[in-house]
Structure 1
Amino acid sequence: MTIVIGVGDRFRRDDGAGPAVVEALRGRMPDGVVPAVTDGEPARLIELWAGADLAIVVDAVRAEPSRPGRLHEIGPDAAPRSGGAASSHALGLGEAVALGRAVERMPETLRVLAVEGAEFGWGCELTPPVAAAVEEAAERILALLARRRTPFEGRDLA
Protein backbone atom coordinates (compact mmCIF):
# COMPACT_ATOMS: atom_id res chain seq x y z
CA MET A 1 0.00 0.00 0.00
CA THR A 2 1.07 3.56 -0.73
CA ILE A 3 -0.47 6.44 1.22
CA VAL A 4 -0.25 10.21 0.82
CA ILE A 5 -1.03 11.99 4.09
CA GLY A 6 -1.81 15.69 4.30
CA VAL A 7 -1.12 16.97 7.81
CA GLY A 8 -2.67 20.17 9.06
CA ASP A 9 -5.64 22.22 10.11
CA ARG A 10 -7.60 23.87 7.30
CA PHE A 11 -8.83 26.52 9.74
CA ARG A 12 -5.30 27.78 10.57
CA ARG A 13 -4.33 29.46 7.31
CA ASP A 14 -1.06 27.97 5.95
CA ASP A 15 -1.29 24.99 8.29
CA GLY A 16 -3.85 23.75 5.76
CA ALA A 17 -1.18 23.26 3.07
CA GLY A 18 -0.96 19.48 3.61
CA PRO A 19 -4.72 18.89 3.24
CA ALA A 20 -4.78 21.27 0.23
CA VAL A 21 -2.09 19.20 -1.54
CA VAL A 22 -4.03 15.97 -0.92
CA GLU A 23 -7.15 17.66 -2.32
CA ALA A 24 -5.19 18.75 -5.42
CA LEU A 25 -4.11 15.11 -5.93
CA ARG A 26 -7.62 13.60 -5.78
CA GLY A 27 -8.38 11.76 -9.00
CA ARG A 28 -4.80 12.14 -10.26
CA MET A 29 -2.96 9.46 -8.30
CA PRO A 30 -2.36 5.92 -9.57
CA ASP A 31 -4.75 3.17 -8.52
CA GLY A 32 -3.98 1.80 -5.10
CA VAL A 33 -2.62 5.06 -3.66
CA VAL A 34 -4.63 6.04 -0.59
CA PRO A 35 -5.18 9.76 0.17
CA ALA A 36 -5.59 10.75 3.82
CA VAL A 37 -5.77 13.90 5.93
CA THR A 38 -4.99 14.20 9.62
CA ASP A 39 -4.26 16.85 12.22
CA GLY A 40 -0.76 15.47 12.86
CA GLU A 41 -1.39 13.81 16.22
CA PRO A 42 1.34 11.13 16.35
CA ALA A 43 -0.90 8.12 17.11
CA ARG A 44 -3.19 8.98 14.17
CA LEU A 45 -0.20 9.36 11.83
CA ILE A 46 1.21 6.01 12.93
CA GLU A 47 -2.12 4.27 12.34
CA LEU A 48 -2.35 5.75 8.86
CA TRP A 49 1.14 4.78 7.70
CA ALA A 50 1.58 1.47 9.55
CA GLY A 51 2.20 -1.34 7.07
CA ALA A 52 2.59 0.98 4.07
CA ASP A 53 5.29 0.31 1.50
CA LEU A 54 5.53 4.06 0.95
CA ALA A 55 4.08 6.90 3.03
CA ILE A 56 4.39 10.46 1.73
CA VAL A 57 3.60 13.07 4.36
CA VAL A 58 2.90 16.68 3.36
CA ASP A 59 3.02 19.23 6.16
CA ALA A 60 3.42 22.97 6.66
CA VAL A 61 6.49 24.18 8.51
CA ARG A 62 7.92 27.37 9.91
CA ALA A 63 11.45 28.23 8.90
CA GLU A 64 14.00 30.93 9.64
CA PRO A 65 14.73 32.71 7.47
CA SER A 66 11.27 32.28 6.05
CA ARG A 67 10.43 31.97 2.37
CA PRO A 68 6.72 31.06 2.29
CA GLY A 69 5.84 28.55 -0.38
CA ARG A 70 9.32 27.01 -0.56
CA LEU A 71 9.23 23.19 -0.61
CA HIS A 72 11.61 20.94 1.31
CA GLU A 73 11.97 17.21 0.78
CA ILE A 74 13.28 15.72 4.00
CA GLY A 75 13.86 12.26 5.39
CA PRO A 76 12.32 10.90 8.58
CA ASP A 77 15.46 11.62 10.61
CA ALA A 78 15.19 15.32 9.75
CA ALA A 79 11.48 15.57 10.65
CA PRO A 80 11.06 18.45 13.09
CA ARG A 81 10.14 17.83 16.71
CA SER A 82 7.77 20.14 18.52
CA GLY A 83 10.58 21.67 20.55
CA GLY A 84 12.01 23.31 17.44
CA ALA A 85 10.69 26.27 15.52
CA ALA A 86 9.99 24.21 12.41
CA SER A 87 6.87 22.33 13.46
CA SER A 88 3.51 24.06 13.23
CA HIS A 89 1.88 21.58 15.64
CA ALA A 90 2.13 21.02 19.40
CA LEU A 91 3.39 17.50 18.73
CA GLY A 92 5.11 17.12 15.42
CA LEU A 93 6.07 14.63 12.79
CA GLY A 94 9.37 14.01 14.58
CA GLU A 95 7.51 12.66 17.61
CA ALA A 96 5.40 10.42 15.35
CA VAL A 97 8.55 9.01 13.74
CA ALA A 98 10.19 8.38 17.11
CA LEU A 99 7.06 6.72 18.48
CA GLY A 100 6.50 4.72 15.28
CA ARG A 101 10.03 3.35 15.50
CA ALA A 102 9.61 2.51 19.19
CA VAL A 103 6.45 0.49 18.55
CA GLU A 104 7.72 -0.90 15.20
CA ARG A 105 4.91 0.65 13.14
CA MET A 106 6.83 2.61 10.51
CA PRO A 107 6.20 2.42 6.77
CA GLU A 108 8.86 0.71 4.71
CA THR A 109 9.73 4.10 3.17
CA LEU A 110 8.76 7.51 4.56
CA ARG A 111 9.09 10.66 2.47
CA VAL A 112 8.25 14.10 3.84
CA LEU A 113 7.39 17.13 1.74
CA ALA A 114 7.37 20.28 3.88
CA VAL A 115 5.79 23.52 2.69
CA GLU A 116 7.05 26.72 4.33
CA GLY A 117 4.14 28.72 5.66
CA ALA A 118 3.76 32.35 6.65
CA GLU A 119 0.57 32.65 8.69
CA PHE A 120 -0.81 30.06 11.12
CA GLY A 121 -3.57 32.05 12.83
CA TRP A 122 -7.29 31.49 12.40
CA GLY A 123 -8.61 31.64 8.86
CA CYS A 124 -9.52 29.31 6.00
CA GLU A 125 -7.41 30.67 3.15
CA LEU A 126 -3.80 29.86 2.41
CA THR A 127 -1.53 32.85 1.91
CA PRO A 128 -0.80 33.49 -1.81
CA PRO A 129 2.74 32.02 -1.86
CA VAL A 130 1.60 28.85 -0.10
CA ALA A 131 -1.47 28.52 -2.32
CA ALA A 132 0.84 28.83 -5.34
CA ALA A 133 3.07 26.03 -3.98
CA VAL A 134 0.20 23.51 -3.69
CA GLU A 135 0.30 22.50 -7.36
CA GLU A 136 4.11 22.24 -7.39
CA ALA A 137 3.92 19.96 -4.34
CA ALA A 138 1.24 17.84 -6.03
CA GLU A 139 3.39 17.53 -9.18
CA ARG A 140 6.42 16.43 -7.12
CA ILE A 141 4.36 13.73 -5.46
CA LEU A 142 2.94 12.52 -8.78
CA ALA A 143 6.49 12.32 -10.20
CA LEU A 144 7.64 10.31 -7.18
CA LEU A 145 4.69 7.94 -7.54
CA ALA A 146 5.38 7.52 -11.27
CA ARG A 147 9.04 6.64 -10.60
CA ARG A 148 8.02 3.96 -8.11
CA ARG A 149 5.75 2.06 -10.49
CA THR A 150 6.32 0.47 -13.86
CA PRO A 151 3.65 1.18 -16.47
CA PHE A 152 3.45 -2.52 -17.36
CA GLU A 153 3.34 -4.27 -14.01
CA GLY A 154 2.23 -1.58 -11.56
CA ARG A 155 4.64 -2.87 -8.91
CA ASP A 156 7.07 -0.99 -6.73
CA LEU A 157 10.59 -0.62 -8.08
CA ALA A 158 12.29 0.20 -4.80
Structure 2
Amino acid sequence: MPATIVIGVGNDLRRDDGAGPAVIEALRGRVRATLAVTDGEPARLIALWAGADRAVVVDAVRADPPRPGRIHDLGVRTAALARRPVTGHALGLGDAVALGLAVGQVPVRLRVLAIEGIDFGFGPGLTPHVAEAVTVVADRIAASLGRDPVRPAGRPSDHLFPKEDRSP
Protein backbone atom coordinates (compact mmCIF):
# COMPACT_ATOMS: atom_id res chain seq x y z
CA MET A 1 0.00 0.00 0.00
CA PRO A 2 1.57 3.34 -1.02
CA ALA A 3 1.98 5.91 1.73
CA THR A 4 -0.92 8.37 1.57
CA ILE A 5 -1.44 11.51 3.61
CA VAL A 6 -4.42 13.86 3.66
CA ILE A 7 -3.58 17.31 5.01
CA GLY A 8 -6.14 19.88 6.13
CA VAL A 9 -4.74 23.41 6.03
CA GLY A 10 -6.31 26.11 8.13
CA ASN A 11 -7.46 27.35 11.48
CA ASP A 12 -10.86 26.28 12.81
CA LEU A 13 -11.01 29.46 14.90
CA ARG A 14 -11.09 31.64 11.74
CA ARG A 15 -14.56 30.62 10.44
CA ASP A 16 -14.26 29.33 6.82
CA ASP A 17 -10.49 28.92 7.16
CA GLY A 18 -11.43 25.84 9.19
CA ALA A 19 -12.60 23.97 6.07
CA GLY A 20 -9.38 21.95 5.77
CA PRO A 21 -9.41 20.78 9.40
CA ALA A 22 -13.17 20.04 9.09
CA VAL A 23 -12.50 17.71 6.15
CA ILE A 24 -9.90 15.86 8.21
CA GLU A 25 -12.44 15.39 11.02
CA ALA A 26 -15.01 14.12 8.50
CA LEU A 27 -12.49 11.54 7.20
CA ARG A 28 -11.56 9.99 10.55
CA GLY A 29 -12.20 6.26 10.41
CA ARG A 30 -13.20 6.39 6.73
CA VAL A 31 -9.90 6.19 4.85
CA ARG A 32 -6.65 4.32 4.88
CA ALA A 33 -4.32 7.28 5.09
CA THR A 34 -2.43 9.40 7.55
CA LEU A 35 -4.51 12.45 8.50
CA ALA A 36 -2.89 15.75 9.51
CA VAL A 37 -3.79 19.38 10.16
CA THR A 38 -1.39 22.29 9.71
CA ASP A 39 -1.41 26.07 9.45
CA GLY A 40 -0.11 26.00 5.86
CA GLU A 41 3.44 27.20 6.49
CA PRO A 42 5.40 25.81 3.49
CA ALA A 43 8.17 24.04 5.42
CA ARG A 44 5.61 22.26 7.62
CA LEU A 45 3.56 21.18 4.59
CA ILE A 46 6.63 19.83 2.82
CA ALA A 47 7.70 17.97 5.99
CA LEU A 48 4.25 16.41 6.27
CA TRP A 49 4.09 15.12 2.70
CA ALA A 50 7.78 14.13 2.50
CA GLY A 51 8.07 10.45 1.68
CA ALA A 52 4.40 10.04 0.81
CA ASP A 53 3.52 8.51 -2.55
CA ARG A 54 0.24 10.41 -2.54
CA ALA A 55 -0.85 13.59 -0.79
CA VAL A 56 -4.22 15.30 -0.81
CA VAL A 57 -4.23 18.84 0.57
CA VAL A 58 -7.46 20.66 1.46
CA ASP A 59 -7.48 24.41 2.06
CA ALA A 60 -9.95 27.29 2.08
CA VAL A 61 -9.45 30.06 -0.47
CA ARG A 62 -10.76 33.52 -1.25
CA ALA A 63 -12.03 34.38 -4.71
CA ASP A 64 -13.26 37.52 -6.43
CA PRO A 65 -16.13 37.47 -6.97
CA PRO A 66 -16.78 35.03 -4.13
CA ARG A 67 -18.77 31.85 -4.65
CA PRO A 68 -18.76 30.29 -1.18
CA GLY A 69 -18.58 26.53 -1.28
CA ARG A 70 -17.21 26.24 -4.83
CA ILE A 71 -14.58 23.49 -4.98
CA HIS A 72 -11.41 23.74 -7.07
CA ASP A 73 -9.60 20.47 -7.85
CA LEU A 74 -6.00 21.36 -8.71
CA GLY A 75 -3.05 19.32 -9.85
CA VAL A 76 0.52 20.03 -8.82
CA ARG A 77 1.36 22.44 -11.67
CA THR A 78 -1.82 24.50 -11.28
CA ALA A 79 -1.40 24.63 -7.50
CA ALA A 80 2.18 25.86 -7.89
CA LEU A 81 0.94 28.78 -9.99
CA ALA A 82 -1.40 29.95 -7.21
CA ARG A 83 1.35 31.91 -5.48
CA ARG A 84 -0.80 34.64 -3.90
CA PRO A 85 -1.82 33.86 -0.31
CA VAL A 86 -5.56 33.35 -0.25
CA THR A 87 -6.28 33.37 3.46
CA GLY A 88 -4.43 34.89 6.39
CA HIS A 89 -1.29 32.86 5.74
CA ALA A 90 1.90 34.87 5.07
CA LEU A 91 2.77 32.44 2.28
CA GLY A 92 0.22 30.45 0.37
CA LEU A 93 -0.21 26.80 -0.47
CA GLY A 94 1.07 27.59 -3.97
CA ASP A 95 4.36 28.72 -2.44
CA ALA A 96 4.69 25.39 -0.64
CA VAL A 97 4.04 23.44 -3.85
CA ALA A 98 6.47 25.61 -5.85
CA LEU A 99 9.14 25.24 -3.16
CA GLY A 100 8.54 21.49 -2.96
CA LEU A 101 8.95 21.21 -6.75
CA ALA A 102 12.15 23.28 -6.62
CA VAL A 103 13.75 21.04 -4.01
CA GLY A 104 12.34 17.75 -5.32
CA GLN A 105 10.07 17.20 -2.29
CA VAL A 106 6.63 16.69 -3.85
CA PRO A 107 4.80 13.38 -3.70
CA VAL A 108 4.41 11.44 -6.94
CA ARG A 109 0.68 12.21 -6.77
CA LEU A 110 -0.38 15.54 -5.25
CA ARG A 111 -3.96 16.77 -5.36
CA VAL A 112 -5.13 20.10 -3.95
CA LEU A 113 -8.80 20.63 -3.16
CA ALA A 114 -9.55 24.28 -2.48
CA ILE A 115 -12.90 25.34 -1.04
CA GLU A 116 -13.97 28.95 -1.57
CA GLY A 117 -14.84 30.66 1.68
CA ILE A 118 -16.49 33.99 2.43
CA ASP A 119 -15.96 34.63 6.17
CA PHE A 120 -12.40 34.44 7.53
CA GLY A 121 -13.09 36.44 10.69
CA PHE A 122 -12.44 35.28 14.23
CA GLY A 123 -14.61 32.56 15.71
CA PRO A 124 -15.51 28.92 15.22
CA GLY A 125 -17.96 27.54 12.69
CA LEU A 126 -18.19 27.35 8.93
CA THR A 127 -20.66 29.28 6.81
CA PRO A 128 -23.45 27.05 5.39
CA HIS A 129 -22.11 26.72 1.81
CA VAL A 130 -18.61 25.91 3.04
CA ALA A 131 -19.98 23.32 5.49
CA GLU A 132 -21.79 21.63 2.59
CA ALA A 133 -18.60 21.69 0.50
CA VAL A 134 -16.67 20.05 3.36
CA THR A 135 -19.04 17.07 3.17
CA VAL A 136 -18.67 16.87 -0.62
CA VAL A 137 -14.86 17.05 -0.44
CA ALA A 138 -14.65 14.44 2.33
CA ASP A 139 -16.87 12.11 0.29
CA ARG A 140 -14.73 12.64 -2.83
CA ILE A 141 -11.54 11.87 -0.92
CA ALA A 142 -13.06 8.81 0.74
CA ALA A 143 -14.23 7.53 -2.65
CA SER A 144 -10.82 8.09 -4.26
CA LEU A 145 -8.89 6.46 -1.41
CA GLY A 146 -11.32 3.67 -0.64
CA ARG A 147 -13.24 3.19 2.57
CA ASP A 148 -10.75 1.01 4.42
CA PRO A 149 -10.25 1.60 8.11
CA VAL A 150 -7.41 3.88 9.11
CA ARG A 151 -4.18 1.96 9.48
CA PRO A 152 -2.16 2.21 12.68
CA ALA A 153 -0.21 5.44 12.87
CA GLY A 154 2.86 5.21 10.66
CA ARG A 155 3.85 8.81 11.28
CA PRO A 156 4.72 10.49 14.55
CA SER A 157 1.41 12.31 14.97
CA ASP A 158 -2.05 12.58 13.53
CA HIS A 159 -2.14 16.35 13.97
CA LEU A 160 0.69 18.82 13.63
CA PHE A 161 -1.07 20.97 16.22
CA PRO A 162 -3.33 19.31 18.80
CA LYS A 163 -6.69 21.09 19.04
CA GLU A 164 -5.98 22.51 22.46
CA ASP A 165 -2.70 24.09 21.27
CA ARG A 166 -3.99 25.83 18.12
CA SER A 167 -4.46 29.56 18.34
CA PRO A 168 -5.85 32.14 15.87
Instruction: Report the counterpart of residue 28 of structure 1 in structure 2.
Output: 30
Instruction: Report the counterpart of residue 144 of structure 1 in structure 2.
Output: 144
- 1:18 deviates by 0.2
CA-based RMSD:
1.6
Q: 1:7-28: per-residue Cα shift (whole Å, max 9, x none)?
A: 0011111000000000000011
Tell me the TM-score normalised to structure 1 length: 0.86
Instruction: Report the counterpart of residue 156 of structure 2 in structure 1.
Output: none
CA distance in 1, matches of 2:13, 2:99: 27
What is the DSSP-based 3-state SS (H/G/I as helix, E as strand, rest coil) of the residue aligned with 1:115? strand
**Aligned residue runs from structure 1 range 86-97, under 5 A:** 87-88=86-87, 89-97=89-97
- 1:82 deviates by 2.5
Query: Is the counterpart of residue 126 in structure 1 residue 148 in structure 2?
Result: no
- 1:6 deviates by 0.1
Instruction: Report the counterpart of residue 76 of structure 2 in structure 1.
Output: 76
Q: 1:45-68: per-residue Cα shift (whole Å, max 9, x none)?
A: 000001111000000011122110
- Higher RCO (C-alpha under 8 Å, 6+ residues apart): 2
The answer for unaligned runs of 5 or more in structure 2 is: 149-168
The answer for unaligned runs of 5 or more in structure 1 is: 150-158
CA distance in 2, matches of 1:52, 1:98: 17
| Percent identity between the two aligned chains | 66
What is the DSSP-based 3-state SS (H/G/I as helix, E as strand, rest coil) of the residue aligned with 2:146? helix
CA distance in 2, matches of 1:77, 1:64: 22
Q: How many residues align?
A: 143
Contact 2:31/2:146 (CA < 8 Å) preserved in 1?
no
Paired residue for 2:10, among 4, 8, 11?
8
Q: 1:60-110: per-residue Cα shift (whole Å, max 9, x none)?
A: 011122110111101122222126xxx212211111011112221111110
Task: State the AA in 2 paired with 1:35.
Answer: L
Query: Is the counterpart of residue 67 in structure 1 residue 67 in structure 2?
Result: yes
Contact 1:55/1:111 (CA < 8 Å) preserved in 2?
yes
Instruction: Report the counterpart of residue 21 of structure 2 in structure 1.
Output: 19
CA distance in 1, matches of 2:101, 2:78: 14
Instruction: Report the counterpart of residue 100 of structure 1 in structure 2.
Output: 100
Tell me the TM-score normalised to structure 2 length: 0.81
Instruction: Report the counterpart of residue 117 of structure 1 in structure 2.
Output: 117
- 1:139 deviates by 0.5
Instruction: Report the counterpart of residue 155 of structure 1 in structure 2.
Output: none
Moved over 3 A (4+): none
